[in-house]
Amino acid sequence: MKLNSSVVSHLALMVCGDGKYKDIFPYRSSSYLTEFFRNLDLDYVHDGSTRRFWVQSVLDEINRKDNKTNENIPSPEIKKVIEQLLHPSIFITDNPSLDREKAIEMMNELLKSENLIVKIDTSTGIPKLTENLGEFISTAIRERKAQRTIIFCPEIFKIPEETIDLNLVAVMMPFSRDFNEVYSAIKESCRSVGVSCQRVDDIWKNSTIIQDIFELIYTSSIVIADLSGKNPNVFYEIGIAHTLGKAVIPVVQNFDDVPFDLRHHRALTYLNNNEGRNNLQKALEKRLISLINNR
């Protein structure tokens, strides 16, 4: 895609640190403009002309290039420029007025008309330019392009900032000592196929447990849910997982515990003894490998 010319003009001002972007983005003199592009492996040298017009001519040139990997994202060179403008290292200066949070806000406001957004990795602070079409978090669907995409905004939960972890399995089961050895078998099955698993009592990020549960399901790629004992909390959590499009593996000790609305889903049955848990572990390994191989 090609950015609108007015968007390119604003990007040029951001690069220069001029106009309404002054003191939000760093000011760059001629030599620092050259350095900015060279740091991106772009061999442009400021020719002494008016800074803003020169930068715009450079951006116009790289904006005409194609993105061969994603037609909904501008050229790799323009993408580099946008991400570098918001890189945390750029804001480590002696100028206390520079405001990275404001810079991110202004950049995303500018890119809104292009259906683009810059997302910031919460652990590293590194920016990434991506399509602003909502984040695809479902993992049970293989042919995503064939699906209708929707954007939802829940009132009860907060959307986590973390991204989906393809190596994370969420485990939903009753909180009872009777299930501790079952959980151990599940953890071993996950470990043996190279993924990790968590139960909500393994984490404490939020003041309410239901938010931790939602975040665990949201960020996982697979959910293992034990329906034994007809636990209403587990049923509620399965509903969340199905709504988010997660791959769910139901397990149960007695198939009579599976409610009518879930009986069309195949469940792994097991006995809660040493032999039964060993059989469950092996069955889970096969199912996990199948889901992982079909991503």
Kindly report, residue by residue over 7-59, the tens digit of the pLDDT: 999 999 999 999 999 989 999 999 999 999 999 999 999 999 999 999 999 99
Task: Judge whether 162 lies within some domain.
Answer: no
**Same-domain status, 73 and 187:** no
**Same-domain status, 174 and 287:** yes
- For residue 107, what are its two tokens? 């950049």
Asked whether 187 and 195 are in contact (CB, 8 A), the reply is no
Residue written as tokens 């034994």? 228
Q: Cα angle vertex 11, ends 7, 16, to 5°? A: 150
pLDDT at 133: 67
Q: How far is CA 59 from the centre of its chain?
A: 29
Task: Judge whether 138 lies within some domain.
Answer: no
Model-level pTM? 0.58
**Same-domain status, 108 and 50:** yes
Q: Residue 48's domain spans which residues? A: 5-131
List the one residue out of 221, 269, 275 whose CA is nearest residue 248. 221
Sheet with 196-199, strands from edge to edge, namely 196-199, 168-172, 222-226, 247-252, 268-269
**Same-domain status, 17 and 114:** yes
Instruction: Please spell the DSSP secondary structure of 235-293, one letter per residue.
Output: HHHHHHHHHTT-EEEEEES-GGGS-GGGTTS--EE--SSHHHHHHHHHHHHHHHHHHHH
Query: For the domain that residue 201 is a member of, what is the CATH number?
Result: 3.40.50.450
Boundary residue ending a domain (131, 160, 186): 131
Q: Report the domain count for the chain.
A: 2
pLDDT at 249: 96
